[in-house]
Amino acid sequence: MEKKTTLQIIAVAVISLLIGFGIGWQIKLVQVQEEIDWMAAQLEKLYIPGVVTEIGDSFLVMEVEIPVNIFESEKQYIRVNVAEETEIFRFIETAALAEELLLSPEELEELAENLTGSSQKIFLSLKDIKTGDQIIVTSEENRGKKEIAASKIEISYQ
């Protein structure tokens, strides 16, 4: 009788262990699938660097270099449509920001207390983009199109 009870306890323990392992494995698989889906979504976004050649009311045209092979690239022009929800920004060094704003020592101290890090993200509008600016456009659309909608535009100043 004792042997039978001991075997039942061992069987229940082994079955419980296997069920727990199976549940844990399923949870981990779901987490891994979520990470894969997130990475795939990031890869679908395009990050296109280029130089602004024309600016309109709700669009800009940028010149991009498309690699043809390892030694050559060709220039193409892409029309970038800019909507109200398009995020336009640039990063600026905190010290340069203070200098650009012509702050007094007291204002500079107050700014330093409110800012963190060595650079700050400054939000801008389409009016702040100038012909010749180097930009990086983030878009959800396919490569190879001559016209895309921008979700983000980062302006790079030299």
Per-residue pLDDT reduced to its tens digit, 33-53 = 787 776 666 555 678 889 999
pLDDT at 53 (0 to 100): 95
Mark whether 90 and 66 lie in a shared domain.
Answer: yes
- Tell me the C-alpha distance between 140 and 129, whole Å: 21
- Tell me the C-alpha distance between 15 and 89, whole Å: 57
DSSP string across 54-99 = EE-SSEEEEEEEEESSSS-EEEEEEEEE--TT-EEEEEEEHHHHHH
Mark whether 9 and 36 lie in a shared domain.
Answer: yes
Mark whether 65 and 124 lie in a shared domain.
Answer: yes
Average pLDDT over residues 14-39: 79
pLDDT at 95 (0 to 100): 63
pLDDT at 110 (0 to 100): 64
pLDDT at 35 (0 to 100): 79
pLDDT at 117 (0 to 100): 60
Q: Which residues pair with 61 in a beta bridge?
A: 54, 79
Residue 58 scores a pLDDT above 70? yes
pLDDT at 10 (0 to 100): 82
pLDDT at 40 (0 to 100): 63
**Residue 40 dihedral angles phi and psi, to the nearest 5°:** -65, -40
Residue 131 structure tokens: 């012909």
- Tell me the C-alpha distance between 54 and 60, whole Å: 6
pLDDT at 6 (0 to 100): 83
Decide which of 11, 29, 44 is a domain's last residue: 44
Does residue 7 sit in helix, strand or coil?
A: helix
List Cβ neighbours of 124 (8 Å cut-off, separation of 6 or more): 88, 89, 90, 155
For 82-137, how does the pLDDT look when each residue is reduced to its tens digit (9 = 90+)? 999 999 988 877 666 656 666 666 766 666 565 656 667 888 889 989 999 999 99
Quote the domain boundaries for residue 111: 46-156
Domain count, the chain: 2
